[in-house]
Amino acid sequence: MTTVHEPATAMAELAVWPASATEPRPGDLAVGGVPLAAVADRFGTPVYVLDEAEVRDRCRTYRDAFPDAEIVYAAKAFLCRAMAHWTDEEGLGLDVCSAGELELAVTTGFPAERIVLHGNAKSPRDLDTALRLGVGRIVIDSPSEIARLAAAVGPDGHQKVMVRVVPGINAGGHEKIRTGTDDQKFGLSIADGYAQHAITRILDQPQLELTGLHCHLGSQITSVKPYLVAVRRLVGLMARLQEQHGLVLPELDLGGGHGIAYRPGEAALDLTALARKVRAELADACTTAGLPVPRLIIEPGRAIVGPAGIAVYRVLSVKHTAEHVFVAVDGGMSDNPRPALYGVRYMPRLIGRHSTADCARLTVVGRHCEAGDVLAADAELPADVRPGDLLAVPVAGAYHLSMASGYNLVGRPPVVAVRDGAARLLVRRESLEEIRSRDVGL
């Protein structure tokens, strides 16, 4: 165990927490006016806490930064009925990638015309549901989808579509979340001509109205530059489409991928700079190409919900080895697969009691049967952390529960919203009875 001589200051540590985070008393952390330890006592652990005001503020920050653009929240980051409701109230659109996400949103009252359907492999059910519910736009991601969709729409029908193109740009926080490069499963490449070919085929289908090009470069992008390169390449393709087909596309969707800090000191994408530079680049590229400026669409997921979420775990065991102290909590890779998938590390914090012990670097691990189930390899925590303590992990709102699994049959944690000093259950804990009831054979 390494003793840390200069522990991070309280203010610096709170940099990645929701703006509402306060420490009313030493060791007592509150979010949305609700002490996290009280949430743990009331709803049990592990539990995910979502700060409603933080979600709404982030939606408003996007709308202020991009006043002329359409902001479409990427539901894959996290979706529940309340989340759909909040984003609707804040005037955002919704990006879904399955019939499940779509049904949940529409049955909550989210207007279908403000929904964009994505997916590199949309099932017949996905497409049927989209058409039945009247989804606003469908983003075509493969050549075979064009005829399928046109047939499903029927000769008298009408559906707005975009085309997901691959601009050949390498950006994103990890190899597994880079989607702007050629030769991968998403989209249609500009470089090899597949994108142009697909567009010609879409134009042959009168019931499909092509409204724009789409690209999504990847996730956890912390620099503006890749987006500017994407604007140039996509406007270049738009100019060629105008020359060849006389086509002027009114929309341009640059996807999401805006990077956030998971630990204090980590880089995040500067949204104001992104908005200013993308707008200028788009205007300049369109002037050069002799095109009208299309309406911009962006699809942030992580940057809206990630920093609004906190995972709260209870410590189950503390084990000392020759070189490490392993602090094992009651959740892990089944509620948060990101460390195992991408090697991401978090900065948990002791809550619910004040410790005067020196800080040490401890290894916070999950309860699952994988050695890679590590939440924080070098967490700065009081050296006296013990079973029964509570640890809170900030920046837990995106791609945790939406990627949660049934591993080890522990059941997925609940989601609790906090706001103005009150906590309310949004999604209940998955019970063992529910898990058992799906198991119908013997």
Ligand X SMILES: Cc1ncc(COP(=O)(O)O)c(C=O)c1O
- Contacts with ligand X by CB under 6 A lie at 74, 76-77, 95, 118, 216, 219, 255-258, 299-303
**Nearest in space to 362 (alpha carbons), one of 318, 300, 296, 301:** 318
For ligand X, the closer of residues 195 and 327 by Cβ is: 195
Q: How many angstroms separate the CA atoms of 164 and 377, rounded?
A: 38
One-character DSSP codes across 231-284: HHHHHHHHHHHHHHH-----EEE----B---SSTT-----HHHHHHHHHHHHHH
Q: How far apart are CA 208 and CA 426, in angstroms?
A: 38
Report the residue number, 256 or 339, with the smaller CB distance to ligand X: 256
What totals of helices (H) and strands (E) does the chain contain, helices first? 13, 22
| Catalytic option among 80, 97, 359, 369 | 369
> Whose Cβ is closer to ligand X: residue 162's or residue 311's?
162
Rounded to the nearest whole angstrom, what is the least distance from the CB of residue 257 to ligand X in the complex? 4
Q: Specify the long-range contacts of residues 103-109, CB closer than 8 Å, at least 24 apart.
A: 103/129, 103/133, 104/79, 104/80, 105/75, 105/79, 106/133, 108/81, 108/84, 109/84, 109/85
Q: Nearest approach, Cβ of 41 to ligand X (angstroms)?
A: 32
Q: Which residues of 188-201 are buried (b: 16+ CB within 10 A; e: fewer)?
A: bbbeeebbbebbee
* Least Cβ distance, residue 402 to ligand X (angstroms): 10
Q: In terms of CB distance, is 90 or 380 closer to ligand X?
A: 90
Amino acid at 276: R
For residue 95, the minimal CB distance to ligand X (Å) is 5
Question: Is 286 designated active site?
Answer: no
* Nearest Cα residue to 18 out of 344, 307, 236: 307
Helix or strand holding residue 61 (H, E): helix 52-65
- Which DSSP category does 294 fall into? P
Nearer to ligand X, 63 or 240 (CB): 63
- Least Cβ distance, residue 216 to ligand X (angstroms): 4
Which residues participate in catalysis according to the annotation?
369
